[in-house]
């Protein structure tokens, strides 16, 4: 496993360096905050990815060297966030890993910024992020995602009228309307209507309101659970409209809650090539993740498509990057760690190459990829000039679980999965959809 070899090498240097430069105690501490609201679905993934990184590094440390500790906190809302960040700063963490909406919520009184503690965001990032503010985004920012969606809807699908539905909860959801409106209008696309969803109501009402506005597409900018409710409502009323949303909806819980209603939903996700998805580094990582935390197919659905915890991978990368910065800065002092982070120009993580020198923050190279869901799989065939042979192969690889190594199948969960599928095949063959044929997107204009 290449990344583990790299990790092991990194660790040795990190911990030797820190044993020289450490000024508090024997541990290097990294804070991790799992947030509520739209990002609640990834909360646990954040912790697990960070834990896996720390455990891997600690396993390989030399005797006497410092170990890595994860200080994990959760925050249900913005005010809790400020409290948690303050707690972590006081606990002496070298850096904090969290989701972007907490950065937004930090506002002018950001304890991390005041103390010079660098923050790495694993999810979407807003325009307020940036390395100069000590905030390093590790994925395509919300602005970029909005721009990618607007461009795809307009240029690729020829859609001229778009409605926007934003989630009810946090600042991140609310920002969706502004970000998408701005991105769409820059392309000359009309915003037919905007809806701010409201928890607790019947989502058929906003679905019907959106339909009445006559848009050709609906942007759903909310957390997975809330988005799923709206998508299910839209499909329930029989509205065959193009649906699209941010990369957060790549989270498997969205497909778990929508099932085949997710077919044709387009999301602007991470810049992750198919070779990377299916490559040995990630495959090995997912096996390690499974051994530690269990990795299953998307829940509540008859599918072999795995519930890949991409947020956990990002969190793993974030912790690994901080460790690399500690090594480079020869200190776990947060300000020195921050300085070292700003110098990282080509860290090879699981999800891509990270360049933290960029003005807007750290990003893996390339623009967000726009993909659709088909039979619960992610398919990259909706962009102009897409290679359908490659796209269909990617689809089939996911739905047939061709990539799953025997090592997984030999685990208890793998055996259960085998038995579940076999039972389904034996007793409900007419409804087996695991191996449903690939179908190319419908030609534009209109929904895929």
Binding site for other proteins (CB under 8 A): 274-275, 277-280, 304, 388-394, 396-397, 400-404, 409, 415, 417-419, 421-423, 425-430, 432, 434-438, 440
Nearer CB in complex with other proteins: 293/434: 434
Nearer CB in complex with other proteins: 192/374: 374
- The string of DSSP codes covering 115-135 is HT--EEE-S---TT-BGGGTE
Q: How far is the CB of 444 from other proteins (least distance, A)?
A: 18
CB atoms within 10 A of CB 185: 12
Q: How far is the CB of 265 from other proteins (least distance, A)?
A: 21
Helix %, strand %, coil % for the chain, to 5? 50, 15, 35
Q: How far is the CB of 186 from other proteins (least distance, A)?
A: 34
383, 156 Cβ separation under 8 angstroms = yes
Q: How far is the CB of 402 from other proteins (least distance, A)?
A: 5
Distance of alpha carbon 439 from alpha carbon 410, whole angstroms: 32
Nearer CB in complex with other proteins: 384/426: 426
Q: How far is the CB of 138 from other proteins (least distance, A)?
A: 24
Q: How far is the CB of 277 from other proteins (least distance, A)?
A: 7
Q: How far is the CB of 283 from other proteins (least distance, A)?
A: 9
- 293-to-28, 74, 333, 438 alpha-carbon distances in Å: 24, 19, 31, 32
328, 343 Cβ separation under 8 angstroms = yes
Distance of alpha carbon 179 from alpha carbon 176, whole angstroms: 5
325, 362 Cβ separation under 8 angstroms = no
Q: Which tokens sit at 235?
A: 């499909």
Nearer CB in complex with other proteins: 208/397: 397
The edge-to-edge listing of strands for the beta sheet with 217-221 is 190-196, 161-166, 217-221, 242-246, 266-269, 369-374, 377-379
Q: Write phi, then psi, for 97 (nearest 5 degrees).
A: -110, 130
Nearer CB in complex with other proteins: 19/436: 436
Q: How far is the CB of 300 from other proteins (least distance, A)?
A: 19
Q: How far is the CB of 6 from other proteins (least distance, A)?
A: 18
Nearer CB in complex with other proteins: 4/421: 421
Nearer CB in complex with other proteins: 188/429: 429
Nearer CB in complex with other proteins: 311/417: 417
Beta bridge partners of 220: 165
350, 308 Cβ separation under 8 angstroms = no
Helix (H) or strand (E) run with residue 224 in it = helix 224-236
- The phi-psi region of residue 200 (left if phi > 0; otherwise alpha if psi is between -120 and 50; otherwise beta) is left
Q: How far is the CB of 13 from other proteins (least distance, A)?
A: 29
Q: Which tokens sit at 63?
A: 């005797």
Nearer CB in complex with other proteins: 80/274: 274
Q: How far is the CB of 307 from other proteins (least distance, A)?
A: 16
Nearer CB in complex with other proteins: 90/402: 402
Q: Write phi, then psi, for 141 (nearest 5 degrees).
A: -70, 165
- Which three-class secondary structure state does DSSP give residue 319? helix
Q: Which tokens sit at 156?
A: 């690729």
Nearer CB in complex with other proteins: 203/308: 308
Cis, peptide link before residue 437, omega less than 30° from 0: no
Distance of alpha carbon 1 from alpha carbon 103, whole angstroms: 34
Q: Write phi, then psi, for 323 (nearest 5 degrees).
A: -60, -40
């Amino acid at each position: 496993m290449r990344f583990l070899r790299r990790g092991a090498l990194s660790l040795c240097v990190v911990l030797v360096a820190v044993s020289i430069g450490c000024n508090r105690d024997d541990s290097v501490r990294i804070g991790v905050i799992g947030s509520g609201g739209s990002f609640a679905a990834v909360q646990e993934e954040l912790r697990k990815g960070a834990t896996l990184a720390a455990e891997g590094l600690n396993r390989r440390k030399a005797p006497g060297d410092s170990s890595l500790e994860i200080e994990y906190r959760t925050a249900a809302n913005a005010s809790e966030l400020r409290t948690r960040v303050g707690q972590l700063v006081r606990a002496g963490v070298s850096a904090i890993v969290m989701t972007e909406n907490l950065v937004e919520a930090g506002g002018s009184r950001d304890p991390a910024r005041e103390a010079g503690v660098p923050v790495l965001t694993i999810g979407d990032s807003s325009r307020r992020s940036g390395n100069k503010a000590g905030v390093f985004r590790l994925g395509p920012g919300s602005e970029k995602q909005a721009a990618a969606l607007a461009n795809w809807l307009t240029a690729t699908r020829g859609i001229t009228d778009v409605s926007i539905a934003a989630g009810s909860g946090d600042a991140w959801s609310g920002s969706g309307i502004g970000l998408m409106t701005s991105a769409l209008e820059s392309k000359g696309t009309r915003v037919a209507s905007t809806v701010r969803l409201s928890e607790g109501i019947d989502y058929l009402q906003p679905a019907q309101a959106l339909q009445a506005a006559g848009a050709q597409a609906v942007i759903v900018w909310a957390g997975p659970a809330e988005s799923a409710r709206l998508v299910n409502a839209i499909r329930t009323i029989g509205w065959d409209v193009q649906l699209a949303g941010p990369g957060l909806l790549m989270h498997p819980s969205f497909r778990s809650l929508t099932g085949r209603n997710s077919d044709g939903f387009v999301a602007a996700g991470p810049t992750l090539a198919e070779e990377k998805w299916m490559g040995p580094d990630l495959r090995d990582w997912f096996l390690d993740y499974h051994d530690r935390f269990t990795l299953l197919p998307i829940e509540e659905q008859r599918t072999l498509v795995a519930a890949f915890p991409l947020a956990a991978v990002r969190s793993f990368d974030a912790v690994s990057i901080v460790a690399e910065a500690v090594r480079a800065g020869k200190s776990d002092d947060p300000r020195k760690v921050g300085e070292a982070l700003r110098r990282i120009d080509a860290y090879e993580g699981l999800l891509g190459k990270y360049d933290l020198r960029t003005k807007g923050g750290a990003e893996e190279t390339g623009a967000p990829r726009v993909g659709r869901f088909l039979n619960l799989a992610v398919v990259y065939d909706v962009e102009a000039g897409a290679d359908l042979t490659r796209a269909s192969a990617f689809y089939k690889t996911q739905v047939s679980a061709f990539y799953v190594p025997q090592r997984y199948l030999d685990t208890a969960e793998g055996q259960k999965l085998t038995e579940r599928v076999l039972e389904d095949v034996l007793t409900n063959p007419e409804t087996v959809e695991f191996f449903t044929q690939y179908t190319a997107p419908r030609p534009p204009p209109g929904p895929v």
